[in-house]
């Protein structure tokens, strides 16, 4: 039952990445507007002086959004591959099952890189997105996704 639970949780991490990537793709213009609202650091009244440059180039904003979507798609791909690998050996030895977790672990790590690294560290700390209502909402969501992915990572990575 523990093995099946680990597989299902990894599937959910993958679905999370896939759903966010697809929503960003089908709402590309709205997603671009969001990124365009964060990177120029407009509306940052609480901490109005940034130590580094803002980004306002439409080309760079599009590149950043594509990078986010790519990260989300990698969360999905790595997680789905990991769930498949784990499912294939679910009835085998503990050593075999633990060896099959590699891609699942990479899926969770990729989720942490996207939602902790990109949104919370770069978006939150560098671009100060917490200062605007839209940015604060996105950062709150990113926190939820990062924490849940981190908990899944700890659970799945525990030896079988």
- Tokens representing residue 85 in the block: 């690998």
pLDDT attached to residue 15: 98
| DSSP state letter for 51 | S
Q: What is the mean pLDDT of residues 26-31?
A: 97
- Note the pTM of the prediction, 2 decimals: 0.94
pLDDT attached to residue 129: 93
Overall number of domains in the chain: 1
Average pLDDT, the chain: 96
DSSP, collapsed to helix, strand or coil, labels residue 47 as coil
No. of H helices and E strands in the chain?
A: 6, 0
pLDDT attached to residue 45: 85
Its domain, for residue 96, covers 2-157
Q: Per-residue pLDDT tens for 49-63?
A: 889 999 999 999 999
pLDDT attached to residue 49: 86
Q: Are 85 and 104 in contact (CB under 8 A)?
A: yes
């Amino acid at each position: 039952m523990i093995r099946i639970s680990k597989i299902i949780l990894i599937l959910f991490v993958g679905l999370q990445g896939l759903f966010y990537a697809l929503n960003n793709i089908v709402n590309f213009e709205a997603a671009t507007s969001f990124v365009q609202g964060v990177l120029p650091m407009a509306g940052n009244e609480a901490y109005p002086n940034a130590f580094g440059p803002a980004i306002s180039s439409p080309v760079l904003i599009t590149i950043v959004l594509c990078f986010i979507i790519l990260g989300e798609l990698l969360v999905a791909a790595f997680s789905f591959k990991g769930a498949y690998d784990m499912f294939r050996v679910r009835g085998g030895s503990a050593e075999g099952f633990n060896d099959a977790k590699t891609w699942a672990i990479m899926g969770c790590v990729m989720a942490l890189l996207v939602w902790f690294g990109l949104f919370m560290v770069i978006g939150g700390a560098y671009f100060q997105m917490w200062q605007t209502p839209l940015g604060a909402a996105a950062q709150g969501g990113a926190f939820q996704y990062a924490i849940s992915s981190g908990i899944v990572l700890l659970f799945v990575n525990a030896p079988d």
